[in-house]
Protein backbone atom coordinates (compact mmCIF):
# COMPACT_ATOMS: atom_id res chain seq x y z
CA UNK A 1 0.00 0.00 0.00
CA UNK A 2 1.30 3.47 -0.81
CA UNK A 3 0.62 6.75 0.98
CA UNK A 4 -2.09 7.87 -1.46
CA UNK A 5 -4.02 4.63 -0.91
CA UNK A 6 -3.70 5.18 2.81
CA UNK A 7 -5.22 8.65 2.45
CA UNK A 8 -8.00 7.19 0.29
CA UNK A 9 -8.81 4.63 2.95
CA UNK A 10 -9.12 7.51 5.44
CA UNK A 11 -11.59 9.38 3.24
CA UNK A 12 -9.34 11.77 1.28
CA UNK A 13 -9.95 11.87 -2.48
CA UNK A 14 -7.15 11.96 -5.04
CA UNK A 15 -7.93 15.60 -6.03
CA UNK A 16 -7.72 16.79 -2.44
CA UNK A 17 -4.49 14.89 -1.93
CA UNK A 18 -2.95 16.33 -5.10
CA UNK A 19 -3.89 19.88 -4.26
CA UNK A 20 -2.75 19.69 -0.63
CA UNK A 21 0.50 17.98 -1.47
CA UNK A 22 1.33 20.49 -4.21
CA UNK A 23 0.57 23.35 -1.89
CA UNK A 24 2.73 21.84 0.84
CA UNK A 25 5.67 21.68 -1.56
CA UNK A 26 5.43 25.44 -2.01
CA UNK A 27 5.81 25.96 1.76
CA UNK A 28 9.08 24.18 2.34
CA UNK A 29 11.17 27.33 2.80
CA UNK A 30 8.75 28.55 5.41
CA UNK A 31 8.90 25.19 7.15
CA UNK A 32 12.71 25.31 7.16
CA UNK A 33 12.59 28.57 9.10
CA UNK A 34 10.27 26.98 11.66
CA UNK A 35 12.62 24.02 11.98
CA UNK A 36 15.52 26.39 12.67
CA UNK A 37 13.63 28.00 15.54
CA UNK A 38 12.70 24.61 16.96
CA UNK A 39 16.30 23.40 16.64
CA UNK A 40 17.47 26.36 18.72
CA UNK A 41 14.70 25.88 21.30
CA UNK A 42 15.37 22.15 21.53
CA UNK A 43 18.95 22.92 22.51
CA UNK A 44 17.79 25.61 24.94
CA UNK A 45 15.57 23.09 26.74
CA UNK A 46 18.19 20.34 26.66
CA UNK A 47 20.80 22.71 28.05
CA UNK A 48 18.51 23.57 30.97
CA UNK A 49 17.79 19.88 31.69
CA UNK A 50 21.49 19.05 31.71
CA UNK A 51 22.56 22.11 33.67
CA UNK A 52 20.28 21.18 36.57
CA UNK A 53 21.38 17.54 36.57
CA UNK A 54 17.94 16.12 35.92
CA UNK A 55 18.23 12.50 36.98
CA UNK A 56 16.11 9.37 36.91
CA UNK A 57 15.08 10.09 40.49
CA UNK A 58 13.54 13.43 39.37
CA UNK A 59 10.84 11.48 37.52
CA UNK A 60 9.51 10.01 40.76
CA UNK A 61 6.72 11.84 42.53
CA UNK A 62 5.81 12.53 46.12
CA UNK A 63 2.51 12.21 47.97
CA UNK A 64 0.98 13.94 50.98
CA UNK A 65 2.60 17.28 51.83
CA UNK A 66 5.27 16.81 49.21
CA UNK A 67 8.15 18.03 51.36
CA UNK A 68 11.56 17.69 49.73
CA UNK A 69 10.14 16.90 46.30
CA UNK A 70 13.44 17.08 44.44
CA UNK A 71 11.89 16.34 41.05
CA UNK A 72 9.41 19.20 41.44
CA UNK A 73 12.04 21.66 42.69
CA UNK A 74 14.46 20.74 39.90
CA UNK A 75 11.74 21.11 37.27
CA UNK A 76 11.08 24.62 38.54
CA UNK A 77 14.78 25.41 38.20
CA UNK A 78 14.69 24.04 34.65
CA UNK A 79 11.74 26.29 33.77
CA UNK A 80 13.54 29.28 35.30
CA UNK A 81 16.56 28.50 33.10
CA UNK A 82 14.50 28.08 29.93
CA UNK A 83 12.76 31.42 30.50
CA UNK A 84 15.90 33.10 31.92
CA UNK A 85 14.10 34.10 35.11
CA UNK A 86 15.10 34.05 38.77
CA UNK A 87 12.49 31.49 39.74
CA UNK A 88 9.42 29.56 38.56
CA UNK A 89 6.32 27.85 39.90
CA UNK A 90 5.29 24.80 37.83
CA UNK A 91 2.59 22.74 39.45
CA UNK A 92 -0.21 20.27 38.81
CA UNK A 93 -2.14 22.19 41.49
CA UNK A 94 -2.39 25.07 39.00
CA UNK A 95 -5.46 23.73 37.22
CA UNK A 96 -5.38 25.64 33.91
CA UNK A 97 -4.16 28.80 32.19
CA UNK A 98 -6.84 31.02 33.69
CA UNK A 99 -5.91 29.77 37.15
CA UNK A 100 -2.21 30.50 36.55
CA UNK A 101 -3.05 34.05 35.41
CA UNK A 102 -5.48 34.62 38.29
CA UNK A 103 -2.85 33.38 40.72
CA UNK A 104 -0.16 35.68 39.34
CA UNK A 105 -2.51 38.66 39.52
CA UNK A 106 -4.15 38.01 42.87
CA UNK A 107 -0.89 37.25 44.65
CA UNK A 108 0.93 40.33 43.40
CA UNK A 109 -1.84 42.91 43.75
CA UNK A 110 -3.12 44.36 47.02
CA UNK A 111 -6.24 46.39 47.86
CA UNK A 112 -5.87 49.91 46.47
CA UNK A 113 -3.60 48.84 43.63
CA UNK A 114 -4.52 49.29 39.99
CA UNK A 115 -4.11 46.79 37.16
CA UNK A 116 -3.60 48.10 33.63
CA UNK A 117 -4.03 46.31 30.30
CA UNK A 118 -2.35 48.47 27.62
CA UNK A 119 -3.26 46.03 24.81
CA UNK A 120 -7.06 46.09 24.94
CA UNK A 121 -9.50 43.65 26.41
CA UNK A 122 -7.90 40.55 27.93
CA UNK A 123 -8.92 36.93 27.27
CA UNK A 124 -12.60 36.19 28.01
CA UNK A 125 -12.05 34.13 31.14
CA UNK A 126 -10.01 36.94 32.73
CA UNK A 127 -13.00 39.27 32.67
CA UNK A 128 -14.38 37.56 35.75
CA UNK A 129 -10.97 37.32 37.41
CA UNK A 130 -10.54 41.08 37.09
CA UNK A 131 -14.21 41.88 37.70
CA UNK A 132 -14.92 43.46 34.31
CA UNK A 133 -17.86 41.04 34.52
CA UNK A 134 -18.83 40.86 38.19
CA UNK A 135 -17.88 37.61 39.90
CA UNK A 136 -17.35 36.25 43.37
CA UNK A 137 -13.76 36.66 44.50
CA UNK A 138 -12.76 38.96 41.64
CA UNK A 139 -9.96 41.49 41.99
CA UNK A 140 -12.63 44.22 41.99
CA UNK A 141 -14.22 42.65 45.07
CA UNK A 142 -10.86 42.98 46.84
CA UNK A 143 -10.56 46.66 45.95
CA UNK A 144 -8.16 46.31 43.03
CA UNK A 145 -9.16 48.68 40.23
CA UNK A 146 -8.66 48.09 36.53
CA UNK A 147 -7.94 50.33 33.59
CA UNK A 148 -7.53 49.50 29.92
CA UNK A 149 -6.03 51.21 26.90
CA UNK A 150 -7.02 49.75 23.54
CA UNK A 151 -4.64 49.31 20.63
CA UNK A 152 -4.93 51.95 17.93
CA UNK A 153 -7.02 51.01 14.87
CA UNK A 154 -3.83 50.11 12.98
CA UNK A 155 -2.75 47.74 15.78
CA UNK A 156 -0.06 50.06 17.24
CA UNK A 157 0.28 50.75 20.96
CA UNK A 158 -1.50 53.93 22.06
CA UNK A 159 1.56 55.30 23.87
CA UNK A 160 -0.05 58.65 24.64
CA UNK A 161 -3.00 57.13 26.47
CA UNK A 162 -0.87 54.44 28.11
CA UNK A 163 1.27 57.21 29.62
CA UNK A 164 -1.90 58.98 30.82
CA UNK A 165 -3.31 55.76 32.31
CA UNK A 166 -0.25 55.09 34.48
CA UNK A 167 -0.71 56.68 37.90
CA UNK A 168 0.58 56.27 41.45
CA UNK A 169 -1.77 53.30 42.01
CA UNK A 170 -0.66 51.37 38.91
CA UNK A 171 1.10 48.30 40.27
CA UNK A 172 0.89 45.68 37.55
CA UNK A 173 0.54 45.70 33.78
CA UNK A 174 -0.88 42.66 31.98
CA UNK A 175 0.11 42.08 28.37
CA UNK A 176 -1.52 39.30 26.38
CA UNK A 177 0.83 37.96 23.71
CA UNK A 178 -1.69 35.93 21.70
CA UNK A 179 -4.72 37.51 20.10
CA UNK A 180 -6.97 34.88 21.70
CA UNK A 181 -10.45 35.27 20.24
CA UNK A 182 -9.87 38.87 19.17
CA UNK A 183 -8.95 39.92 15.65
CA UNK A 184 -5.96 42.08 16.56
CA UNK A 185 -2.58 40.74 15.51
CA UNK A 186 -0.59 38.65 17.98
CA UNK A 187 2.29 40.58 19.53
CA UNK A 188 5.84 39.60 18.68
CA UNK A 189 8.26 39.29 21.58
CA UNK A 190 10.18 42.32 20.35
CA UNK A 191 7.04 44.47 20.30
CA UNK A 192 6.28 43.32 23.85
CA UNK A 193 9.81 44.41 24.73
CA UNK A 194 9.25 47.90 23.32
CA UNK A 195 6.06 48.26 25.33
CA UNK A 196 7.71 47.09 28.55
CA UNK A 197 10.64 49.49 28.05
CA UNK A 198 8.21 52.37 27.57
CA UNK A 199 6.23 51.47 30.69
CA UNK A 200 9.33 51.01 32.87
CA UNK A 201 10.64 54.41 31.77
CA UNK A 202 7.51 55.99 33.17
CA UNK A 203 7.39 53.91 36.35
CA UNK A 204 10.26 51.46 36.89
CA UNK A 205 8.65 49.47 39.72
CA UNK A 206 5.56 48.39 37.76
CA UNK A 207 5.34 44.61 37.51
CA UNK A 208 5.00 43.63 33.84
CA UNK A 209 3.19 40.30 33.42
CA UNK A 210 2.77 38.57 30.07
CA UNK A 211 0.01 36.07 29.32
CA UNK A 212 2.23 33.75 27.30
CA UNK A 213 -0.48 31.21 26.34
CA UNK A 214 0.10 29.68 22.88
CA UNK A 215 3.28 31.72 22.40
CA UNK A 216 5.93 29.53 24.05
CA UNK A 217 8.71 28.34 21.70
CA UNK A 218 7.25 30.06 18.63
CA UNK A 219 10.27 32.39 18.69
CA UNK A 220 13.79 31.90 20.03
CA UNK A 221 13.21 34.46 22.76
CA UNK A 222 10.41 34.75 25.30
CA UNK A 223 8.88 37.89 26.86
CA UNK A 224 11.04 37.30 29.97
CA UNK A 225 14.08 37.96 27.72
CA UNK A 226 12.81 41.47 26.97
CA UNK A 227 11.96 42.69 30.45
CA UNK A 228 8.78 40.87 31.56
CA UNK A 229 8.75 40.30 35.32
CA UNK A 230 6.41 37.30 34.97
CA UNK A 231 5.43 35.01 32.09
CA UNK A 232 2.41 32.82 32.64
CA UNK A 233 0.88 29.90 30.76
CA UNK A 234 -0.88 26.55 30.64
CA UNK A 235 0.77 23.12 30.46
CA UNK A 236 -2.00 21.72 28.27
CA UNK A 237 -0.82 24.15 25.62
CA UNK A 238 2.70 24.54 24.14
CA UNK A 239 5.09 23.92 27.09
CA UNK A 240 3.43 20.64 28.14
CA UNK A 241 4.33 19.19 24.74
CA UNK A 242 1.05 17.28 24.63
CA UNK A 243 2.11 14.99 27.47
CA UNK A 244 1.35 17.05 30.58
CA UNK A 245 -2.12 15.97 31.74
CA UNK A 246 -2.74 19.16 33.77
CA UNK A 247 -0.88 22.19 35.09
CA UNK A 248 0.26 25.75 34.70
CA UNK A 249 3.44 27.74 35.17
CA UNK A 250 4.60 31.17 36.27
CA UNK A 251 8.24 32.09 35.63
CA UNK A 252 9.66 35.39 36.82
CA UNK A 253 11.24 37.53 39.51
CA UNK A 254 11.88 35.81 42.83
CA UNK A 255 9.53 38.08 44.72
CA UNK A 256 6.67 37.62 42.25
CA UNK A 257 7.02 33.85 42.38
CA UNK A 258 7.17 33.86 46.16
CA UNK A 259 3.95 35.84 46.30
CA UNK A 260 2.32 33.38 43.90
CA UNK A 261 3.52 30.34 45.87
CA UNK A 262 2.21 31.79 49.15
CA UNK A 263 -1.15 32.32 47.52
CA UNK A 264 -1.28 28.91 45.81
CA UNK A 265 -0.55 26.99 48.99
CA UNK A 266 -0.53 29.16 52.10
CA UNK A 267 1.38 32.03 53.69
CA UNK A 268 4.41 30.49 55.37
CA UNK A 269 4.31 27.30 53.29
CA UNK A 270 4.85 28.61 49.77
CA UNK A 271 6.81 26.33 47.48
CA UNK A 272 7.70 23.87 50.25
CA UNK A 273 4.47 21.90 49.93
CA UNK A 274 2.55 20.54 46.95
CA UNK A 275 3.07 16.88 46.12
CA UNK A 276 3.78 16.23 42.46
CA UNK A 277 2.03 12.83 42.58
CA UNK A 278 2.81 11.00 39.34
CA UNK A 279 2.98 13.84 36.82
CA UNK A 280 6.66 14.82 36.82
CA UNK A 281 7.69 12.39 34.13
CA UNK A 282 5.13 13.88 31.73
CA UNK A 283 6.10 17.46 32.69
CA UNK A 284 9.77 16.80 31.94
CA UNK A 285 9.23 14.79 28.80
CA UNK A 286 6.56 17.21 27.59
CA UNK A 287 8.89 20.18 28.03
CA UNK A 288 11.58 18.28 26.16
CA UNK A 289 9.20 17.67 23.23
CA UNK A 290 7.56 21.12 23.37
CA UNK A 291 9.81 22.95 20.84
CA UNK A 292 9.12 20.27 18.23
CA UNK A 293 5.41 19.97 19.00
CA UNK A 294 5.04 23.76 18.77
CA UNK A 295 6.78 23.68 15.38
CA UNK A 296 4.37 20.99 14.16
CA UNK A 297 1.38 23.04 15.26
CA UNK A 298 2.81 26.13 13.54
CA UNK A 299 3.26 24.25 10.29
CA UNK A 300 -0.36 23.15 10.49
CA UNK A 301 -1.51 26.74 11.03
CA UNK A 302 0.46 28.00 8.03
CA UNK A 303 -0.74 25.12 5.86
CA UNK A 304 -4.37 25.89 6.77
CA UNK A 305 -3.94 29.61 6.08
CA UNK A 306 -2.52 28.88 2.65
CA UNK A 307 -5.29 26.44 1.71
CA UNK A 308 -8.25 28.49 2.85
CA UNK A 309 -6.90 31.78 1.53
CA UNK A 310 -6.81 30.22 -1.96
CA UNK A 311 -10.59 29.72 -1.75
CA UNK A 312 -11.31 33.29 -0.78
CA UNK A 313 -11.87 32.89 2.96
CA UNK A 314 -10.44 35.48 5.36
CA UNK A 315 -7.53 33.94 7.20
CA UNK A 316 -5.95 35.60 10.23
CA UNK A 317 -2.94 35.62 10.16
CA UNK A 318 -2.75 35.49 6.36
CA UNK A 319 -0.72 32.99 4.34
CA UNK A 320 2.55 34.95 4.40
CA UNK A 321 2.52 36.91 7.69
CA UNK A 322 5.10 36.13 10.37
CA UNK A 323 3.81 34.03 13.27
CA UNK A 324 3.94 34.72 16.98
CA UNK A 325 1.48 32.11 18.27
CA UNK A 326 -0.03 28.85 17.02
CA UNK A 327 -3.62 30.04 16.48
CA UNK A 328 -5.17 30.21 13.03
CA UNK A 329 -8.53 31.86 12.44
CA UNK A 330 -10.55 31.24 9.29
CA UNK A 331 -13.66 33.39 8.83
CA UNK A 332 -16.13 31.38 6.74
CA UNK A 333 -19.04 33.87 6.80
CA UNK A 334 -21.47 30.91 6.57
CA UNK A 335 -22.55 28.71 9.49
CA UNK A 336 -22.62 25.53 7.38
CA UNK A 337 -18.98 26.06 6.40
CA UNK A 338 -17.86 26.50 10.02
CA UNK A 339 -19.73 23.33 11.00
CA UNK A 340 -18.29 21.34 8.06
CA UNK A 341 -14.77 22.49 8.98
CA UNK A 342 -15.14 21.36 12.60
CA UNK A 343 -16.65 18.03 11.51
CA UNK A 344 -13.59 17.42 9.36
CA UNK A 345 -11.18 18.18 12.22
CA UNK A 346 -13.14 15.88 14.53
CA UNK A 347 -13.13 13.07 11.97
CA UNK A 348 -9.32 13.29 11.84
CA UNK A 349 -8.86 12.81 15.59
CA UNK A 350 -7.10 9.83 17.17
CA UNK A 351 -9.75 9.77 19.94
CA UNK A 352 -13.53 10.19 19.41
CA UNK A 353 -13.16 10.41 15.62
CA UNK A 354 -16.56 8.75 15.15
CA UNK A 355 -18.59 11.44 16.94
CA UNK A 356 -20.15 14.46 15.23
CA UNK A 357 -19.60 17.80 16.95
CA UNK A 358 -22.79 19.83 17.47
CA UNK A 359 -23.13 23.54 18.27
CA UNK A 360 -24.27 24.05 21.87
CA UNK A 361 -24.93 26.82 24.38
CA UNK A 362 -21.64 26.78 26.26
CA UNK A 363 -21.60 28.65 29.60
CA UNK A 364 -20.05 32.09 29.32
CA UNK A 365 -20.77 32.59 25.61
CA UNK A 366 -23.56 34.67 24.09
CA UNK A 367 -24.12 32.36 21.10
CA UNK A 368 -23.89 28.62 20.41
CA UNK A 369 -20.36 27.32 20.04
CA UNK A 370 -19.09 24.35 18.05
CA UNK A 371 -15.97 22.52 19.17
CA UNK A 372 -13.92 19.81 17.56
CA UNK A 373 -11.56 17.97 19.87
CA UNK A 374 -10.52 14.39 20.02
CA UNK A 375 -7.61 14.57 22.41
CA UNK A 376 -5.65 12.21 24.62
CA UNK A 377 -5.74 14.92 27.31
CA UNK A 378 -9.24 16.32 27.70
CA UNK A 379 -9.48 19.90 26.43
CA UNK A 380 -5.84 20.00 25.41
CA UNK A 381 -5.46 22.59 22.68
CA UNK A 382 -1.88 21.76 21.75
CA UNK A 383 -3.54 18.68 20.26
CA UNK A 384 -5.35 19.30 16.96
CA UNK A 385 -8.54 21.16 17.82
CA UNK A 386 -10.93 23.80 16.51
CA UNK A 387 -13.83 25.81 17.79
CA UNK A 388 -15.95 28.76 16.80
CA UNK A 389 -19.02 30.70 17.90
CA UNK A 390 -22.07 30.35 15.65
CA UNK A 391 -22.31 34.05 14.85
CA UNK A 392 -20.88 36.36 12.19
CA UNK A 393 -18.19 36.15 10.86
CA UNK A 394 -18.54 32.37 11.54
CA UNK A 395 -14.84 32.04 12.24
CA UNK A 396 -13.14 28.81 13.18
CA UNK A 397 -10.20 29.12 15.58
CA UNK A 398 -7.92 26.28 14.86
CA UNK A 399 -4.77 25.20 16.69
CA UNK A 400 -2.45 22.39 17.63
CA UNK A 401 -1.23 19.18 16.14
CA UNK A 402 1.24 17.01 18.05
CA UNK A 403 2.79 15.87 14.78
CA UNK A 404 2.94 17.76 11.50
CA UNK A 405 1.65 14.69 9.68
CA UNK A 406 -1.47 14.68 11.83
CA UNK A 407 -2.01 18.44 11.52
CA UNK A 408 -1.74 18.06 7.74
CA UNK A 409 -4.22 15.20 7.71
CA UNK A 410 -6.67 17.12 9.91
CA UNK A 411 -6.66 20.11 7.57
CA UNK A 412 -7.07 17.81 4.58
CA UNK A 413 -10.09 16.24 6.31
CA UNK A 414 -11.60 19.65 7.01
CA UNK A 415 -11.10 20.63 3.39
CA UNK A 416 -12.60 17.34 2.17
CA UNK A 417 -15.60 18.00 4.39
CA UNK A 418 -16.20 21.42 2.78
CA UNK A 419 -15.86 19.84 -0.66
CA UNK A 420 -18.20 16.93 0.13
CA UNK A 421 -20.82 19.38 1.40
CA UNK A 422 -20.62 21.42 -1.80
CA UNK A 423 -19.31 24.54 -0.01
CA UNK A 424 -16.19 24.35 -2.16
CA UNK A 425 -16.73 23.05 -5.70
CA UNK A 426 -14.45 20.66 -7.58
CA UNK A 427 -14.15 23.24 -10.40
CA UNK A 428 -12.66 25.67 -7.89
CA UNK A 429 -10.30 22.97 -6.71
CA UNK A 430 -9.13 22.27 -10.27
CA UNK A 431 -8.43 25.95 -10.85
CA UNK A 432 -6.61 26.25 -7.54
CA UNK A 433 -4.42 23.27 -8.38
CA UNK A 434 -3.54 24.77 -11.75
CA UNK A 435 -2.59 28.06 -10.10
CA UNK A 436 -0.32 26.23 -7.68
CA UNK A 437 1.64 24.36 -10.33
C1 LIG B 1 -6.06 29.53 26.72
C2 LIG B 1 -5.79 30.91 27.12
C3 LIG B 1 -6.06 31.37 28.41
C4 LIG B 1 -6.77 30.55 29.44
O5 LIG B 1 -6.31 29.26 29.59
P6 LIG B 1 -7.27 28.08 30.05
O7 LIG B 1 -6.32 26.97 30.25
O8 LIG B 1 -8.25 27.84 28.95
O9 LIG B 1 -7.92 28.49 31.31
C10 LIG B 1 -5.72 32.67 28.71
N11 LIG B 1 -5.17 33.49 27.80
C12 LIG B 1 -4.92 33.09 26.54
C13 LIG B 1 -4.32 34.05 25.55
C14 LIG B 1 -5.22 31.79 26.16
O15 LIG B 1 -4.97 31.39 24.92
- pLDDT-derived band at 437 (thresholds 50, 70, 90) equals confident
- Cα atoms found within 13 Å of the Cα of residue 76, Cβ hemisphere only: 26
Q: Which residues line ligand 1 (CB under 6 A)?
A: 96-98, 101, 123, 125, 176, 178, 180, 211, 213-214, 234
Question: How many Å apart are CA 70 and CA 115, to the nearest integer?
Answer: 35
Q: Tell me the average pLDDT of the chain.
A: 96
Selection from 337, 336, 399 nearest residue 373 by Cα: 399
Share of the chain above pLDDT 70, in %: 100
Average pLDDT over residues 20-37: 96
Phi, psi of 44 (to 5 degrees): -60, -45
Tell how far the Cα of 209 is from the centroid of ligand 1, in angstroms. Answer: 14
Residue 366 has pLDDT above 90, yes or no: no
3-state secondary structure the chain: CCHHHHHHHCCCCHHHHHHHHHHHHCCHHHHHHHHHHHHHHHHHHHHHHHHCCCCHHHHCCCCCCCCCCHHHHHHHHHHHHHCCCCEEEEECCCCCHHHHHHHHHHHHCCCCCEEEECCCCCCCCHHHHHCCCCCCCCCHHHCCEEEECCCCCCCCCCHHHHHHHCCCCEEEEEEECCCCCCCCCCCCHHHHHHHHHHHHHHCCCCEEEEECCCCCCCCCCCHHHHCCCEEEEECCCHHHCCCCCCCEEEEECHHHHHHHHHHHCCCCCHHHCCCCCCCHHHHHHHHHHHHHHHHHHHHHHHHHHHHHHHCCCEEECCCCCCCCCCCEEEECCCHHHHHHHHHHHHHCCCCCCCCCCCCECCCCCCCCEEEEECCCCCCCCCCCEEEEECCCCCEEEEECCCCHHHHHHHHHHHHHHHHHCCCCCHHHHHHHHHHHC
Q: Which atom of ligand 1 is nearest to the CA of 248?
A: 7
Residue 316 has pLDDT above 70, yes or no: yes
What is the distance of C-alpha 416 from the center of its chain? 27
Contact 61, 280 (CB under 8 A): yes
Residue nearest to atom 5 of ligand 1 (CA): 97
Tell how far the Cα of 344 is from the centroid of ligand 1, in angstroms. Answer: 24
- pLDDT-derived band at 364 (thresholds 50, 70, 90) equals low
Residue 282 has pLDDT above 80, yes or no: yes
Tell how far the Cα of 320 is from the centroid of ligand 1, in angstroms. Answer: 26
Residue 185 has pLDDT above 90, yes or no: no
Instruction: Give the residue, out of 213, 230, 377, with the most ligand 1 atoms within 8 A of its beta carbon, to mutate for a pocket test.
Output: 213
Residue nearest to atom 8 of ligand 1 (CA): 97
Contact 137, 79 (CB under 8 A): no
Question: How many Å apart are CA 114 and CA 147, to the nearest integer?
Answer: 7
- pLDDT-derived band at 90 (thresholds 50, 70, 90) equals very high
- pLDDT-derived band at 5 (thresholds 50, 70, 90) equals very high
Residue 77 has pLDDT above 70, yes or no: yes
Average pLDDT over residues 262-279: 97
Question: How many Å apart are CA 112 and CA 10, to the nearest integer?
Answer: 59
Residue 198 has pLDDT above 80, yes or no: yes
Query: Which tens digit of pLDDT belongs to each residue from 212-240?
Result: 999 999 999 999 999 999 999 999 999 99
Residue 365 has pLDDT above 90, yes or no: no
Query: Which tens digit of pLDDT belongs to each residue from 141-184?
Result: 999 999 999 999 999 999 999 999 999 999 999 999 998 777 78
Query: Which tens digit of pLDDT belongs to each residue from 51-75?
Result: 999 999 999 999 999 999 999 999 9
Contact 210, 223 (CB under 8 A): yes
- pLDDT-derived band at 420 (thresholds 50, 70, 90) equals very high
Average pLDDT over residues 270-299: 98
Contact 218, 325 (CB under 8 A): yes
Average pLDDT over residues 319-337: 95
Share of the chain above pLDDT 90, in %: 94
pLDDT of residue 435: 86
Selection from 258, 261, 216, 242 nearest residue 45 by Cα: 216
Residue 1 has pLDDT above 80, yes or no: no
- pLDDT-derived band at 362 (thresholds 50, 70, 90) equals confident
Question: How many Å apart are CA 285 and CA 247, to the nearest integer?
Answer: 14
Q: Is 364 left (phi over 0), alpha (psi -120 to 50) or beta?
A: left
Tell how far the Cα of 123 is from the centroid of ligand 1, in angstroms. Answer: 7
pLDDT of residue 203: 98
Q: Which atom of ligand 1 is nearest to the CA of 327?
A: 15
**Residues 6 or more apart whose Cβ sits within 8 Å of residue 130:** 105, 115, 122, 138, 139, 140, 146
In the chain, the N- to C-terminal Cα span, in Å, equals 27
Question: How many Å apart are CA 250 and CA 211, to the nearest integer?
Answer: 10
Amino acid sequence: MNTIDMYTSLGITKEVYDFCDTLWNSLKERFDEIDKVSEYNQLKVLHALQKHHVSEACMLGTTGYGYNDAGRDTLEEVYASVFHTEDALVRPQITCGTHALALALMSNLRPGDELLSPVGKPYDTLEEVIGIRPSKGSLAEYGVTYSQVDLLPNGDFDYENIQKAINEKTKLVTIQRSKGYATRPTLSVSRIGELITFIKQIKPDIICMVDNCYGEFVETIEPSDVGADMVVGSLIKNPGGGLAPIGGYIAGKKECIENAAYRLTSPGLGKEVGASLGVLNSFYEGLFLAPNVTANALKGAIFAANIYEKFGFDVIPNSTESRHDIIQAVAFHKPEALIAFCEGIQAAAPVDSYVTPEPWAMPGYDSDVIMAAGAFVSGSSIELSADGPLKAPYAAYFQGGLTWQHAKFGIMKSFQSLLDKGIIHSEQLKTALKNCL
